[in-house]
Amino acid sequence: MAQIIKKGPSYMVRVTWRDHTGKQHKKSKSGFKTKAQARKFAAEIESQKYSGQISAQDPTFYQYFLDWYTAYKKNRVANATKNQYTYVLNVIKTYFGNKRLSTINRHQYQLFLNEFGTNHSKKTVTKLSAYIRACVHNAIIDGIINNDFTERTELVWDAKRTQKIDYLNIAELNQLVIALETNRQPRYTGRYMILTAIYTGMRLAEIAALTWQDINFDFKTVQINKSWNYLNGGGFKPTKNKSSNRIIRVDNHLLSLLAELKENHTELVFGSQIANNVPGSNAVNKTLRKFLKQCCINKPSFHFHSLRHTHVAYLLSQGIPLYAISQRLGHSNMTTTATKYAYLIDEFKARSDDLIEEALSDIGGVPEGVPTSKFI
């Protein structure tokens, strides 16, 4: 039977059991304000003991996260994602130190989220929370803990650090395209990479990895089956995920622009004349900022990936179905697309509002030339 021990103003529950080798183990939990609460917990822990759900393991939060990451994630994720797990691991070590996983409750975890979120962006907090939740769920399956202390907790973040999603409206987009095309020279491949992003919505690493074999000038398609390993100094690597492998249609205008780059005589479509390599992320973003300034477009937070947002906003403004846009972007489902791009450019929003108002005004009316009896 579990022991209930009075400790000052509160109660402690201690349970003892032996494993399959005969070795004795003990677990205890204190802080119960009433004896009734302690008895209830004692009954639950006894039930878990006899059903084999209680574990002799009692690792620190840091140690368990490290073990879980090493066993289940390390060899299955890209280097960039490994860095994110390492970051979360260091955060856990900083905030929780040697605290045992079994001793953390929901209130303590919420206090951690409150503190961490005061000086971190929504994206950082959301990703950290997702990794910790996955780890905690695994700990429950392993029988290390019984309760999910991440359940029903609230995320907190610093709105000032949360990056604003920026995109160009149609007028700004046309300005940028005209400026880039007017000043294009095949040796400056970064300008062509920007144009390709505008016309396709492709990610920078996908564009950088394109070879001439990926472009079918007869069928007017671009095949995306790899990406460029910017993080490790170049070379090919797999796309972001399975759904990112796709074939997209393009128009003759973009194909004619890309054909100009053949005079560079490189295997890579955007390879430079000097070396069979592509411009880096910093170089391409520098070029983008240069042309935005030239067009008097003042958007400090606009960067290369914002071109992907602009592509989506433009397609939405032209009435392209969300499903087609989702497939073009390489998303696994439309929910991802709807969540990430739940906005419309200004021109489209205004036009949509007019259409909605017009549609609503027809409710209750009878179409002209149709007898009223048809609706009775």
Distance separating alpha carbons of residues 51 and 96, to the nearest angstrom: 31
Among 9, 18, 86, residue whose Cα is nearest residue 52: 18
pLDDT, residue 343, reads 52
pLDDT, residue 4, reads 83
**Model confidence over 200-218: pLDDT tens digits?**
999 999 999 999 999 999 9
- Those residues of the chain that have pLDDT short of 50 are 344-346, 374-376
Strand spans (E) along the chain: 3-7, 10-18, 24-32, 215-216, 221-224, 227-228, 236-237, 246-249
Backbone angles phi, psi at 28, to 5 degrees: -140, 155
**Model confidence over 17-74: pLDDT tens digits?**
665 556 666 767 778 888 888 888 777 766 665 555 555 567 899 999 999 999 999 8
In the DSSP assignment, the letter for residue 163 is P
CATH superfamily, domain at 170-349: Intergrase catalytic core (1.10.443.10)
pLDDT, residue 147, reads 84
Joined tokens for residue 352: 């949509």
Taken in order 117, 120, 123, 127, the sign of the CA dihedral is negative
* Cβ-Cβ contacts under 8 Å for 97 (sequence gap 6 or more): 60, 62
- DSSP assignment string, 259-320: HGGGGG--SBTT--SSSS----HHHHHHHHHHHHHHTT---TT--TTHHHHHHHHHHHHTT-
Report the relative pairing of strands 221-224 and 227-228 from DSSP bridges. unpaired
Domain made up of 62-161: CATH architecture: Orthogonal Bundle (1.10)
pLDDT, residue 96, reads 95
Query: Using an 8 Å Cβ cutoff, are 153 and 113 in contact?
Result: yes
